[in-house]
Amino acid sequence: MPETLQSSKPTPPCARRDENATIEQLGRARIDPYAWLKDDNWKEVMRDPKQLRPDIRAYLEAENAYTNASLETPTTALQEALFEEMKGRVKEDDSSVPAVDGPWAYYRRFREGGEYPIFGRRPAENAFGKDGVEQVLLDGNEHAKGCDYWDVRKVSHSPDHLLVAFTVDDKGSEFYTLSVREAATGKEVESIQHTYGEFVWGEDSASIYWVARDENARPVAVFCRTLGLGTDALVYREADPGFFIGVQKSQSRKFIFITANDHTTTEWRYLRTDGKDRALTLIAARERGVDYSVVDFDGRFWIRSNRNGAVDFALVSAPHDASNEENWRVEIPHRPGVLLLDVEPFADFIVRMERENGLPRIVVRERDTGAEHAIEFAEQAYALGMSNGYLWDSPWLRFEYSSPSTPAQVFDYNMRTRERVLRKTQVVPSGHAPSDYIVERIDAPASDGAQVPVTMVRHRNTPVDGTAPVLLYGYGAYGITIEAEFRTGRLSLVDRGFIYAIADVRGSMAKGYQWYLDGKLEKKINTFTDFVAAGEHLVNAGYTSRGKIIAMGGSAGGMLMGVAVNLDPSLFGGVIAAVPFVDVLNTMSDETLPLTPPEWPEWGNPLNDELAYDRILAYSPYDQVGLKPYPPMLITGGLTDPRVTYWEPAKWTARLRHEAPEGGPYFLKINMDAGHGGVSGRFASMRETALEYAFAIQCVGPAPPVWTGS
């Protein structure tokens, strides 16, 4: 390390400890010496970050200063190079493929140098041309002026195309303001504060159904706002704090659905949009562990459900006015190992997305004949997405395809003739040759014999002799599967000789719903041991070696990072834990936090279940920090994050320094103007990625890290 850095190496902050901060629960006691980092005023801080207690702010700023001096400043040149590479792979004036709705084609685009999207429309007859006169509905760059953070969650035009509504969060706390404007003039018509961000238009174009948050920031109710009156009528309020409320409209536009869910249990209600009957009707009463979703097709509700042991889901249908189970008709029976992911209806077709052996496919069924055909692809690993846009009485389906080496392609597919029209191929301005990269999907054996899928991409010149560094990404919660899609940013590591790998550990649904069930509650340990097994297999198979793996995950994936590094610290050369959910026992014991009651079905409730308490305590990263040779860690958080609150990464970092002072170093970076998703703006977020990748390169690259000896 250069002498200038040696002579001015910074000293990491040392958080004060309160050894008397005892928590008694279920006849058990534990010490939480850094509990003081949680501001009692946290709800107000979410809405106004200036309300943060001064001593907490001082500590967080000291941590940020240490990270800046020890990591950010010494790697400035590397970060800048990474950023310019990533920026060079992005088409700055990119735009989405227009979606036609009646007389207009709607789209999103960016201007060159713009951080935020512009939402616009042009006449439908010029949907795919360049001649139509554009109407700008929302310019994010203009709307975000003066904001340190800006995020638009949803933009939607009224059925008569005269109005546009959108929801914006300007603090990162996920409290969204819903605004309604005249589409032609931009004049504001209505504004609703502190919403959850989700809404749908009534078919009369004069009403909006929107989701409200309660005092604990949970989506708890749906209201109907009649524009011009400034008042709201309650449509539905949820009594159980463990269920989050949502609202959506059927593709047929005949129904508005009100949904309640807690990850594994759902309940749907509907009301008709024709104005004749405003009554809210229950489709199927909630039943613990029963997950279902509903679409309107062929004069019936088609219900995707795991009821009656259909672990990977079946598809049934029922009359609109008699949707109880005795009236169900099986349309697609349960097929073990074939996970039914999604269903999209059209007037004459119904399309489903399903996954088998880890790979997705699209299956089209004709309404009149029941005949089916699949749209399949040949690569070892790839990602698919589909959309029916605004069109109902149409044979055209839109889908997107990509793989870790293949840029995204958007197709319009005629379900009647099977014609494919390529509407867009993702442009990489600095150049990209898919043949330069090798994509592999392998299985890593877990300790109990389960086979853990691992998807990898590497440059064709990267040797498979144990010398390559690996960035191993994992998540493994809530059934979320990390798709094998194309991400240009990863190429900055891959082109430097890294292998980028994704471990589809249990807790995801990569291998079906049972794969998820086998990675939650009393089986949660499988998520963590699967990740370690994936890393060990990459070593044993000669892809890399111990100490050359950078482990990376965020949110619940950050918990995975904390447990994995406790299980086998020497396997990893570094850890990137983004907004990590690591103070698990304390968070799951605080029912005032926004996500806690809905999370109990995922982790267990340690407030009334001794087994859940002991199980969570046994793996909670914050509670299990010990005197171990931890590798360097980059730990990030957001001050206004309502999902993983800022004090979780802050407390974990403080405890790591105290309990394992010979490990690390530990770098904490708290974004003081953002929440769960990090900074807003497409280029600003690239700079965050550049820091993460610079850290990874420093940990396992050819040169010693700049923090050696600190």
The 10s digit of each residue's pLDDT in 85-123 is 999 999 999 999 999 999 999 999 999 999 999 999 999
Q: Judge whether 280 lies within some domain.
A: no
Q: Judge whether 291 lies within some domain.
A: no
CA dihedral of 304, 308, 312, 316, whole degrees rounded to 10? -30
391 or 79, which is more confident: 79
Per-residue pLDDT at 470 exceeds 60:
yes
pLDDT attached to residue 703: 67
Number of domains in the chain: 1
Would you call 641 a catalytic residue per the annotation? yes
d(CA 392, CA 410): 19
Would you call 334 a catalytic residue per the annotation? no
**Rounded CA Rg of the chain:** 26
H or E stretch at 597: helix 596-603
Q: Model confidence over 390-423: pLDDT tens digits?
A: 989 999 999 999 999 999 999 999 999 999 999 9
pLDDT attached to residue 278: 73
H or E stretch at 293: strand 292-297
d(CA 321, CA 323): 6
Q: Judge whether 425 lies within some domain.
A: no
Question: What range does the domain containing 664 cover?
Answer: 17-88+431-700
d(CA 333, CA 344): 17
Q: What is the CATH number of the domain that holds 565?
A: 3.40.50.1820
Q: Give the 3-state DSSP-derived string for 434-456, with helices as H, strands as E and coil as C.
A: HHHEEEEEEEEECCCCCEEEEEE
Q: Judge whether 26 lies within some domain.
A: yes
Question: Which one is catalytic: 508, 676, 680, 710?
Answer: 676
H or E stretch at 694: helix 682-700
pLDDT attached to residue 385: 95
**CB 351, CB 344: distance < 8 Å:** yes
Per-residue pLDDT at 585 exceeds 50:
yes
d(CA 403, CA 146): 38
DSSP of 82-101, one letter per residue? HHHHHHHTS-TT-BPPPEEE
Q: Model confidence over 305-343: pLDDT tens digits?
A: 999 999 999 999 999 999 988 899 999 999 999 999 999
Q: Model confidence over 372-387: pLDDT tens digits?
A: 999 988 888 999 999 8
Residue in 426, 474, 498 with CA at minimum distance from that of residue 96: 426
Residue in 417, 549, 430 with CA at minimum distance from that of residue 489: 430
Question: Which one is catalytic: 402, 555, 620, 710?
Answer: 555
Average pLDDT for 208-228: 95
Per-residue pLDDT at 5 exceeds 70:
no
Does this model's pTM top 0.85? My answer is yes
Q: Model confidence over 232-249: pLDDT tens digits?
A: 999 999 999 999 999 999
Q: Judge whether 477 lies within some domain.
A: yes
Per-residue pLDDT at 161 exceeds 60:
yes
pLDDT attached to residue 708: 58
Would you call 205 a catalytic residue per the annotation? no
* Percent of the chain predicted with pLDDT > 70: 97
Question: Which one is catalytic: 39, 334, 641, 710?
Answer: 641
Pairing relation of β-strands 470-474 and 499-503?
A: parallel
Q: Exposure pattern of 632-654 as b/e (b: 16+ CB <10 Å)? A: bbbbbbbbbbbbbbbbbbbbbbb
Average pLDDT for 615-639: 97
Per-residue pLDDT at 431 exceeds 50:
yes
Per-residue pLDDT at 3 exceeds 50:
no
Average pLDDT for 155-159: 98
Q: Exposure pattern of 201-214 as b/e (b: 16+ CB <10 Å)? A: bbbeebbbbbbbbe
pLDDT attached to residue 706: 74
Q: Model confidence over 246-284: pLDDT tens digits?
A: 999 999 999 999 999 998 999 999 999 987 677 899 999
pLDDT attached to residue 710: 37
Q: Judge whether 321 lies within some domain.
A: no
Q: Judge whether 148 lies within some domain.
A: no
Q: Judge whether 353 lies within some domain.
A: no
Average pLDDT for 601-615: 97
d(CA 147, CA 572): 38
Q: Name the 3-class secondary structure at 374.
A: strand
Indicate if the alpha-carbon torsion angle 537, 543, 546, 547 is positive or negative. negative
